[in-house]
Each structure stands twice: as C-alpha cells, then as structure tokens.
C-alpha cells in the first residue's frame, strides 16, 4: 500500500481554525513563505477532507477508546497548554454537542494494549476532562505517517504560533526525519523550512520556554530576535527571565520584554582602583583596578617578579577554589 493511500483521512477540525499566526501583512510583502505555506495547507486540507469522507463511506470503523489508554505523540509540537478545565471552549462544545470528529490513533509501537495519537490531542484531553470515551479511528501508521498527520492537526488548530512551528520542525529533524517529510508535515517549502529550523536552533531554549507560544508574534520578529542572540545576550536576559513581573505577563508581552531588554544599552559598571599591602608589613605593594569586565593587578618592589610568578603558577588552583566557593554560595 502506498504512503498516499495510508495517509488518507488525516484531517482535523475545520478549515476556519487554520492558524493565521505564521503569515503577516501579506499584502505588503507579496507571496512570501508563509503565504505559500497557507496555499499548500488549504489545498491539502481540502484533499484530506475528501479522504476522510471516503474513509468513512468505505466502512472504516470509528471505535470508542478509554482515553487513559491513549498516549500523546512522540514528537513535541506545542508550547501552549492543553485544555485544563471544564470551562475550555472545546471541552464545553464536546460536552454540549458530543465529539463530532474522531481522533486518529495507531497501536502503540512499544506498549501492548495501548494507543498513540496521530492527531486529535485536544479532543483526547477534552474526553479525559469529561471522563467519557473518545471516538477514534485506529489505523496502521509508521512514524512518518504520524508526524504528517500531526502536521495536519497543527495546520488546522487555533493559535498555532510561529515558534511552535519552528520547534516542531527542529524536533522532527533532530528525530531523524528527512526534510521532504517535514515540509509535508508543516505544509511549507524548502526556504521557509530552513528559516523555521534556523530560528529554533539559534534562540536558546531558556528564552523560548520563558516566552511561551507567543501567538501574536510572527516570523519577522522571531528572526530578528534570533539575529540579536549574539555574544552575552543570554546572560543579559538571565535576571529578566526569572523576574516575577516577566513570568506573570502574557506570552506576547514576555517576547516584547525580551526585545526591549536586548535593545537597552547595558549600564557601565563603576570602576574602582585601590592599593594592596600585606598585613605582614613587607614592602611589596599591589595596585588593583576593576572596571566593567576587566581586572588588573600590578605589583611593585623587588619581590614583585617572584611573587607574580608564584601567583601565576597557582592560577588553576585559585580558579578551582573560586568556582567551588561560587557553587557553594549558589546552593545556599
């Protein structure tokens, strides 16, 4: 059976849920990568909708499964949270109208009597919250089929953000999938895929996790942030990432706070200069100067060369003692 036949029916929700986060101001830019991706996605969703209807008409069976026996996909694709309570819009809809579209699962590749989701993660979570069976189609799928199906779900669900697409692409490539498969999973072309993976590689995980899904932040802003992540940029963001006002802000606002912090010129550290003399009363003297990220020690008198050599030979020992003390202080 061909891959095309095995992929029939990979369709999720409705086209009106197609995420718009990945294409912005198309009228001013012309047919850029996100616009091409949108066209690919719309075309494929129409094809998959027909395939779903054909599968159901051909007698493919929809079964009821215990949601506790169904595991999530093996590839992480989202930063935004799943439905958390009964007030979630999707949960309320299923509670009132039932589950109208089945999820797609496969037999778990390593665990007996369990299943793994290809698409329908949010509906699965809704079923768990409602403590009811989940409607599912069980199909034989290999790993590539699963990620392509997952990509269909991503294309159709609300609030799919640019950075989530970038992480999904990066995780797929890190998992050994070839780019043609990833392109199909994300409904994108070679150029746009390279940009997605580049952003996910360049922006540190601490920053991505700190910001979150950022549904209102598109490609150009994430690419600009990736370009700004040079030198000691991450070190400059350390205090901000742990600040209470940052963690409590909305995801889009956290992104803008990151950008503002990197744009701010760091304050120059005040320089200090002082002299050192040994408590023993010996005549050797030292002049110490600290300014910003530099520190100098100048020794004077006849013993200066010998004492300087003594210090130099013990720099490794002194540095390890410094590191040990620093780690002990951090653990307190």
pLDDT (0 to 100) of residue 258: 96
Supply angle C-alpha 257, 326, 204, rounded to 5: 35
Distance (Å, rounded) from C-alpha 40 to C-alpha 28?
20
pLDDT in tens, 101-123: 888 899 999 999 999 988 888 88
Q: Which of 74-88, 157-171, 194-208, 300-314 has the lowest mean pLDDT?
A: 74-88
pLDDT in tens, 143-191: 888 888 777 666 555 556 899 889 988 988 888 889 998 888 888 899 9
Kindly calculate the radius of gyration of the chain based on its CA atoms and give it in whole angstroms.
28
pLDDT (0 to 100) of residue 293: 74
pLDDT above 70 coverage of the chain, percent? 73
**Full-model pTM:** 0.55
Contact 66, 124 (CB under 8 A): no
Matching residue, tokens 């409590």:
248
Contact 212, 252 (CB under 8 A): no
Q: What is the torsional sign of CA 247, 249, 250, 256? A: negative
Distance (Å, rounded) from C-alpha 111 to C-alpha 174?
23
């Amino acid at each position: 059976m061909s891959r095309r036949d095995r992929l029939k029916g990979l369709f999720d929700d409705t086209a009106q849920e197609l995420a718009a986060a990945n294409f912005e101001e198309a009228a001013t830019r012309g047919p850029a990568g996100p616009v091409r991706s949108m066209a690919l996605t719309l075309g494929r969703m129409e094809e998959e909708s027909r395939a779903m209807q054909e599968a159901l008409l051909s007698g493919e069976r929809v079964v009821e499964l215990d949601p506790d026996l169904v595991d999530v996909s093996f590839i992480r694709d989202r930063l935004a949270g799943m439905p958390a309570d009964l007030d979630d819009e999707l949960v309320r809809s299923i509670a009132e109208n039932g589950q109208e579209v089945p999820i797609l699962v496969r037999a778990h590749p390593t665990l007996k009597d369990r299943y793994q989701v290809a698409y329908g993660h949010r509906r699965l979570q809704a079923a768990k919250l409602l403590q009811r069976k989940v409607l599912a189609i069980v199909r034989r799928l290999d790993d590539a089929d699963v990620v392509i199906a997952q990509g269909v779900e991503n294309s159709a669900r609300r609030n799919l953000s640019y950075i989530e697409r970038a992480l999904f692409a990066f995780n797929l490539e890190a998992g050994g999938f070839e780019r043609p498969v990833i392109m199909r999973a994300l409904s994108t072309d070679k150029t746009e895929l390279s940009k997605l993976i580049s952003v996910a590689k360049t922006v540190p995980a601490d920053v991505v996790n700190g910001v979150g899904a950022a549904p209102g932040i598109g490609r150009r802003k994430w690419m600009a942030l990736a370009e700004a992540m040079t030198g000691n940029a991450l070190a400059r963001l350390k205090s901000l990432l742990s600040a209470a006002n940052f963690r409590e802000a909305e995801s889009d606002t956290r992104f803008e706070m990151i950008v503002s912090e990197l744009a701010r010129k760091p304050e120059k550290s005040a320089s200090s200069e002082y002299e050192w003399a040994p408590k023993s009363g010996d005549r050797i003297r030292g002049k110490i100067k600290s300014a910003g990220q530099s520190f100098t020690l100048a020794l004077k008198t006849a013993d200066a060369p010998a004492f300087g050599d003594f210090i130099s030979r013990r720099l490794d020992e002194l540095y390890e003692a410094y590191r040990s003390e620093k780690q002990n202080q951090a653990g307190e």
